[in-house]
Homo-oligomer: A and B are copies of this chain.
């Protein structure tokens, strides 16, 4: 089994430090929104759905720490807390979704309880915030199971499947999105083999995904990202499944850098390319991929591997952490509600309303 990614104690949040995986299972402690945001920013935890769950927990912790005493104070502190959390990373919409949902609950409570809070109401709000955070986690767990079932149904028998980055249990509070599809299909006896792309520069595939697949007993091999096309051509790969950090209203999908290239290669080989992500990943405010901000991270994450320099000093480096795969290259987006085949603005809208 995969160790718990987050343990919310009510007083603090224990965060599995994924930077140390697979070598060490070690938990950091975040006691407030600032420390939660730092854990997200520094990638102690990562994965869009998990970032959302952590942000909700961080919000609840911050409220308990600050104990707002009036509707005015609650409104001010809730906005500030949501902003602090949302600034941690710019691309994954689950972070914005969770922080804004917590904020919205807080503002609703403030509106319903104007003026100074009696002590009972203060505690009532704190409980409410914690319950909302627990609900976000529970919804994520349930969404993973549903995506696993819907996605596994799409895969062929004797499937040889490839995935990129880590959209597994470690990226969620449940069984994962893309990896959840693979492990669910594996349990149904449908998976012949799985390939995990190592996913430079942060190596989520080499450190996390292949580790999950090994623990779940899925026959699998690790490859470098640049082997994907050769392996697809020569090893009978017949499906690719990835996660998503943000899906625009028209189905364009931002996901870990390298996803777009894989989608192009899948199209060339006429194999299906699936995106598995819960509905909160859809950002209707982004009309297309052009509206999605792509996070540019530090050069050092490219030029150093485990503290060892791998490129010349003073080298110039690009480090976009995500790319955008146009909807036209996506066979289906799988959410907890089912599959959106050949996604378009119309079919995405219809799916969300269903």
Contact = CB atoms under 8 A, between A and B. Distances in A.
Interface stretch (A42-50, A51-59, A216-224, A342-350): A216-224
A226 B229 contact: no
Interface string A17-38: 0000011000000000000000
Contact of A264 (B198, B265, B305, B318): B265
Nearest to A232: B261
Interface residues of A, number: 54
Q: How many copies does the complex hold?
A: 2
A228 to B, nearest CB: 6
B257 A211 contact: no
A267 interface: yes
A35 B197 CA distance: 36
A138 interface: no
Interface in A196-210: 197-201, 203, 206-207, 210
Given A223-B317, A257-B227, A203 B265 contact: no
A130 interface: no
Given A302-B222, A302-B224, A306-B305, A315 B229 contact: no
Given A264-B268, A268-B267, A302-B224, A230 B312 contact: no
Contacts of A265: 261, 264-265
Interface hub of A164, A268, A309, A314 (most chain B Cβ within 10 A): A268
Q: Is the interface of A mostly helix, strand, loop or mixed?
A: mixed
A352 interface: no
Interface in A291-331: 302-303, 305-312, 314-318, 320, 323-324
A66 interface: no
Given A306-B308, A310-B305, A258 B226 contact: yes
22 contacts: A198-B311, A200-B200, A200-B224, A201-B224, A206-B310, A211-B312, A211-B315, A214-B314, A220-B316, A222-B315, A222-B316, A223-B317, A224-B258, A224-B302, A226-B258, A229-B260, A231-B318, A233-B260, A261-B261, A264-B268, A307-B308, A308-B308
Closest 7 CB pairs of A and B: A226-B258, A229-B261, A230-B323, A306-B308, A225-B226, A200-B224, A206-B311
Given A206-B315, A227-B257, 6 more contacts: A22-B312, A200-B225, A200-B226, A228-B261, A229-B258, A305-B308
